[in-house]
Structure 1
Amino acid sequence: MSQDKKIPRPVTKESLRNAALNYIDRFATSRHNLRHVLVRRVQKSNYYHDTSIQDGIDWIEELLDKLEQAKFIDDARYAEGRAGALHRKGTSQRVIRMKLMEKGLSEDHINKALEALREESQSENLERDAAIALARRRRLGPWRLPEKREDLKEKDLAAMARAGFSYDLAREIIEAETIEDLED
């Protein structure tokens, strides 16, 4: 009753190009991340078909250069978009920085993305805005049912801490009496 594993086709320059374009079509990505995705394909092809890894890496670098010149991948634009999306979701700046680093973005791109986030925000306090967004989304603190708030206060504080927010900021958000107190 065992299923036969499907063996992938050998990687070629054209198949890598098609894979890259399909990936870009589905996901926003950084150069580093796309390289990682394509290298995995080359490694799999090497395993099954003895494809040259060095040839695959050379094809990938050439392809990435072309995609960058054609503006299909742009690390600066990706960093700004990803930072904005994470902030709106309620992610702390520390965690945003880590997630962008995971995608292989340079320190320069990350700093510019966070600076653009500060400039486009109407508020002076991005961390507080993100913490409020997280509490609203996860229904923590003042968004909880009043009868459960006190019992779950420590759990809410822990959730805010895991999200990368300082203890003082987490306490301010979780201990707020009403939602209106936070929005003032």
Structure 2
Amino acid sequence: MTGQARKKPRPPLDRESLEQLALFYVGRYATTRAKLRSYLARKLRERGWVGKRPPAIEALAEKFSELGYIDDAAFAASRAASLGRRGYGARRVEQALYAAGIEEADGADARGIAADQAWDAALAFVRKRRFGPYASQSFDPDRKRKALAAMIRAGHPYELARKFIDRDPGDFPERDA
């Protein structure tokens, strides 16, 4: 060997080692059932399986959910609140929930959070990007179009984005009831 030591290949997984991997993963990361299943499937592809029956990944994810190690609804609500504080809109929240494998029922509260904080999220986004009322000078039509596109990509509805982008510096729109 020249310079680098070769790593010894890891042994294939069995039921106990698969559960230990799952426990380590949920202990270290805020996760969902879908993300845990994906992680365990990847580890099985990498290391193999020694059991006679196929591994019960789905059952393990459900068991961890029943034990309270995983809570998809709490994960979804936390993700929605976090994205809203960072200035992302409801559509972007929906995309994040889909990517995390959150089921419709578990994401209901998160969707409500995103809808409730739509105005505050848009305000945070224009403040961070210095658009509309937070700009140092009025935007020309091309720059307004680009700013509007950025807000829409961030998940804000067109009408709400327009309210902020069409404003001059220091001219804040009235909050809708």
Structure 2 length-normalised TM: 0.78
Count of matched residue positions in the alignment of Structure 1 and Structure 2: 172
Residue 34 of structure 2 aligns with an amino acid whose one-letter code is: H
Answer yes or no: is 1:163 the counterpart of 2:154: yes
How much has 1:182 moved relative to structure 2?
4.0
Q: State the match for 2:95 in structure 1.
A: 98
Give the gaps of 5 or more residues in structure 2: none
Answer yes or no: is 1:55 the counterpart of 2:49: no
Root-mean-square deviation (Å): 2.9
Higher helix share: 1
Instruction: Provide the secondary structure at the position in 2 that maps to 1:155.
Output: helix
Give the gaps of 5 or more residues in structure 1: none
Q: State the match for 2:42 in structure 1.
A: 40
Residue 33 of structure 1 aligns with an amino acid whose one-letter code is: K
Q: Distance in 1 between matches of 2:134 and 2:126?
A: 7
Q: Distance in 1 between matches of 2:170 and 2:36?
A: 42
CA contact (8 A) 2:84 2:114 kept: no
Q: 1:66 to 1:170 in 2, by over 3 A?
A: same
Answer yes or no: is 1:70 the counterpart of 2:72: no
Q: Distance in 1 between matches of 2:127 and 2:89?
A: 14
Is 97-106 or 13-22 further displaced after alignment?
13-22
**Deviations 1:22-74, CA, capped at 9 Å, x for gaps:** 2223321111111111111111123xxx6569623x1x234223312220101
Q: State the match for 2:126 in structure 1.
A: 135
Structure 1 length-normalised TM: 0.76
CA contact (8 A) 2:14 2:51 kept: no
Q: 1:44 to 1:177 in 2, by over 3 A?
A: same
Q: State the match for 1:172 in structure 2.
A: 163
How much has 1:15 moved relative to structure 2?
2.7
